[in-house]
């Protein structure tokens, strides 16, 4: 198969590809449409940016230059996204038939999670239908109850605390500790709240027939309220981005529900420890060393997701900080051992954080600057602007629609925008934490069922909404700026309000749990 997307597109369009892989032929229609709209979006976007650049550089103002910069960066992200995600790779739900009975070690790291949660997980782990398997409960909390529970369920209990070992490197240190005390050829890592399906190993182990395969990452599922208000399900990532990563051998390990090959880890010296959590960095390292990773796009475990905005902030902040530390201090463009497509795929995640954290605030600020300062290079060119930007936007929407067939791209986009304070802070903070100096790791699910409304989290959003509601009216009434310019920018303001209001309303509303997915019942809380 050609690596050139254009020749691939041409061949695919004519139906001349061999279509050997699972669902490759079935996905052809979507793929072609996605590729077509991606190309269209890029062409229209380029035309728009070229035009805007010419107009702005005739009479550049501060806000115009900022605006152009933000648009260029967004376009760049779109370009990377379009180039990366149109081609997806699927696997059969049953997996491959195992070539041999690999001995598997199951690591359940925990550190102070509620006993009920651990019990539920361990009970499910005990129900996994595979042999030979050995379960290790890696308890950094050193809890006797957990130890008792583990022993009662036939699991091996290991605790650095009880053995008097230092608790460095948090989860990755704990996993490395487990690695040193176990012998299994394959290692399944499950978070303490992740309840596995009984057939998890029977469906995954078969992939290790492939010699250079380092890990298989399964799709993650969560106990979520109705409507998934914080988009913890993240279908765009799990149903599109990871599939495309699989296509480019750039699968990212999510740290749980992942089956590693011991040999690959040992070649690397264990799980990587320089970043805060081990998952992304370990898979990044493994792939850069020529190993392969596979994404198995079916959920084989289900766990807890943060239910409050503060929890979401904490979790995403950690992810973003991890990723941006990689971006700043171990950038995929400079990472030896990666091919171009892998570099691009890793870059995509980083760029998305960058755009959310830095570019979205710029988009928020620009209309406000216009209301205050009143000059814009685009004044008088509104019709042209709307024609070009409208076409570009329409093409983008169509592109997303076909790129992310299963995920709710709009919701993902909104979440990306709404989390701008977190991503912005994490991006800036990553600059101050080079390798060798890392911030503390915080366990997410210590109090998974605590309900609190943390209104302070919404302060930036409410502030931005208030400014966008009041400034244009003020500017209009006091005659600071031409009405035409205000109306023009008010469309942006309306869009920003629309984007941010969703999160505010989500926080206001009490989450509704369907009885099926209510974690309290399952974890016995």
The three-class DSSP label of residue 3 is coil
Question: Is the Cβ of residue 329 or residue 513 nearer to another protein in the bound state?
Answer: 513
Question: Is the Cβ of residue 20 or residue 58 nearer to another protein in the bound state?
Answer: 58
Q: What is the C-alpha separation between 490 and 382, in angstroms, rounded?
A: 13
Least distance (Å) from another protein to the CB of residue 379?
A: 8
Least distance (Å) from another protein to the CB of residue 116?
A: 12
Question: Is the Cβ of residue 29 or residue 524 nearer to another protein in the bound state?
Answer: 524
Cα–Cα separations (whole angstroms), residue 496 to 125, 426, 428: 45, 22, 23
Least distance (Å) from another protein to the CB of residue 514?
A: 10
Sheet with 104-110: list strands edge to edge. 156-158, 133-139, 104-110, 186-189, 258-261, 213-223, 292-304, 195-196
Least distance (Å) from another protein to the CB of residue 91?
A: 20
Q: What is the C-alpha separation between 411 and 408, in angstroms, rounded?
A: 5
Q: What is the C-alpha separation between 191 and 301, in angstroms, rounded?
A: 10
Least distance (Å) from another protein to the CB of residue 93?
A: 14
Question: Is the Cβ of residue 8 or residue 522 nearer to another protein in the bound state?
Answer: 522
Neighbours of 24 (CB within 10 A): 18
Q: What does the block give as tokens for 62?
A: 């501060």
Least distance (Å) from another protein to the CB of residue 57?
A: 17
Question: Is the Cβ of residue 173 or residue 229 nearer to another protein in the bound state?
Answer: 229
Question: Is the Cβ of residue 239 or residue 382 nearer to another protein in the bound state?
Answer: 382
Least distance (Å) from another protein to the CB of residue 148?
A: 21
Q: What does the block give as tokens for 522?
A: 């399952």
Least distance (Å) from another protein to the CB of residue 202?
A: 14
- ∠ CA 65-68-69, nearest 5°, is 85
Partners of residue 219 on adjacent β-strands: 299
What one-character DSSP code corresponds to residue 237?
I
Question: Is the Cβ of residue 350 or residue 471 nearer to another protein in the bound state?
Answer: 471
Partners of residue 195 on adjacent β-strands: 302
Write down the H helix ranges in 419-482. Answer: 420-430, 459-478
Question: Is the Cβ of residue 429 or residue 495 nearer to another protein in the bound state?
Answer: 495
Question: Is the Cβ of residue 229 or residue 424 nearer to another protein in the bound state?
Answer: 229
Least distance (Å) from another protein to the CB of residue 165?
A: 32
Cα–Cα separations (whole angstroms), residue 324 to 320, 336, 460: 6, 18, 22
Partners of residue 196 on adjacent β-strands: 301
Partners of residue 156 on adjacent β-strands: 136
Q: Find where tokens 């070992």 sit.
A: 165
Question: Is the Cβ of residue 112 or residue 198 nearer to another protein in the bound state?
Answer: 198
Q: What is the C-alpha separation between 368 and 507, in angstroms, rounded?
A: 26
Which residues contact another protein (rule: CB under 8 A)?
120, 123-124, 127, 195-198, 226-227, 301-302, 379-380, 382-383, 469, 472-473, 476-477, 479, 482-484, 486-487, 490-491, 493-495, 497-498, 501-502, 505-506, 508-509, 512, 515-516, 522
Least distance (Å) from another protein to the CB of residue 198?
A: 5
Q: In terms of Cα–Cα distance, which of 252, 254, 256, 233 is closest to 244?
A: 252
What angle do the packed helices 409-418 and 420-430 form, to 10 degrees?
60
Strand (E) or helix (H) holding 136: strand 133-139
161 within 8 A of 139, measured Cβ to Cβ? yes
Burial class (CB in 10 A: 0-12, 13-18, 19+), 109: buried
Question: Is the Cβ of residue 136 or residue 222 nearer to another protein in the bound state?
Answer: 222
Least distance (Å) from another protein to the CB of residue 517?
A: 9
Least distance (Å) from another protein to the CB of residue 28?
A: 32
- Which residues, at least 6 apart from 453, have a Cβ–Cβ distance to it below 8 Å? 308, 507
Question: Is the Cβ of residue 69 or residue 483 nearer to another protein in the bound state?
Answer: 483
């Amino acid at each position: 198969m050609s690596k050139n997307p254009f020749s691939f597109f041409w061949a695919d369009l004519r139906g001349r590809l061999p279509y050997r892989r699972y669902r490759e032929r079935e996905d052809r229609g979507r793929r072609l449409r996605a590729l077509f709209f991606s190309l269209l979006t890029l062409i229209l976007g380029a035309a728009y940016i070229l035009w805007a650049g010419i107009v702005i550089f005739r009479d550049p103002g501060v806000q115009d230059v900022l605006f152009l910069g933000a648009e260029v960066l967004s376009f760049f992200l779109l370009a990377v996204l379009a180039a990366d995600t149109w081609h997806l790779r699927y696997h059969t739900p049953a997996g491959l038939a195992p070539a041999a009975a690999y001995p598997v070690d199951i690591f359940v790291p925990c550190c102070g999670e509620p006993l009920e949660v651990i019990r539920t997980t361990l009970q499910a782990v005990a129900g996994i239908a595979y042999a030979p398997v050995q379960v290790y409960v890696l308890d950094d909390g050193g809890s006797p109850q957990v130890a008792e529970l583990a022993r009662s369920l036939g699991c091996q209990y290991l605790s650095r605390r009880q053995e008097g070992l230092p608790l460095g490197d948090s989860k990755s240190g704990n996993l490395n500790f487990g690695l040193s005390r176990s012998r299994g050829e394959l290692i399944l890592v499950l978070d303490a709240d992740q309840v596995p399906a009984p057939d998890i190993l029977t469906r995954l182990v078969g992939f290790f027939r492939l010699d250079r395969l380092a890990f298989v990452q399964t799709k993650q599922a969560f106990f979520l309220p109705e409507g998934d208000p914080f988009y913890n399900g993240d279908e765009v990532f799990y149903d599109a981005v990871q599939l495309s990563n699989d296509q480019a051998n750039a699968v990212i390990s999510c740290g749980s529900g992942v089956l590693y090959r011991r040999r690959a880890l040992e070649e690397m010296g264990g799980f990587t420890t320089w970043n805060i959590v081990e998952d992304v960095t370990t898979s990044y390292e493994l792939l850069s060393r020529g190993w392969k990773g596979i994404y198995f796009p079916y959920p084989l475990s289900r766990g807890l997701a943060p239910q409050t905005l503060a929890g979401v902030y904490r979790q995403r902040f950690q992810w973003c900080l991890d990723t941006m530390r990689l971006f700043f201090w171990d950038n995929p463009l400079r990472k030896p051992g990666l091919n171009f497509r892998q570099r691009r795929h890793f870059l995509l995640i980083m760029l998305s954080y960058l755009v959310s954290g830095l570019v979205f605030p710029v988009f928020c600020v620009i209309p406000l600057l216009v209301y205050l300062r009143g000059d814009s290079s685009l004044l008088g060119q509104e019709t042209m602007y709307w024609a070009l930007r409208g076409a570009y936007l329409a093409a983008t929407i169509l592109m997303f629609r076909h790129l992310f067939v299963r995920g709710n791209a709009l919701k993902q986009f909104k979440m990306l925008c709404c989390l701008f304070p977190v991503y912005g802070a994490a991006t800036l903070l990553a600059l101050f934490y080079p390798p060798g100096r890392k911030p503390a790791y915080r366990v997410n699910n210590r109090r998974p069922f605590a309900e609190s409304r943390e209104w302070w989290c919404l302060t930036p959003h409410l502030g931005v909404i208030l400014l966008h509601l009041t400034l244009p009216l003020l500017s209009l009434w006091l005659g600071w700026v031409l009405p035409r310019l205000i109306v023009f920018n008010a469309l942006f303001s309306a869009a920003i309000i629309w984007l941010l209001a969703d999160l505010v309303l989500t926080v206001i509303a009490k989450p509704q749990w369907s009885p099926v997915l209510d974690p309290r019942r399952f974890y016995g809380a």
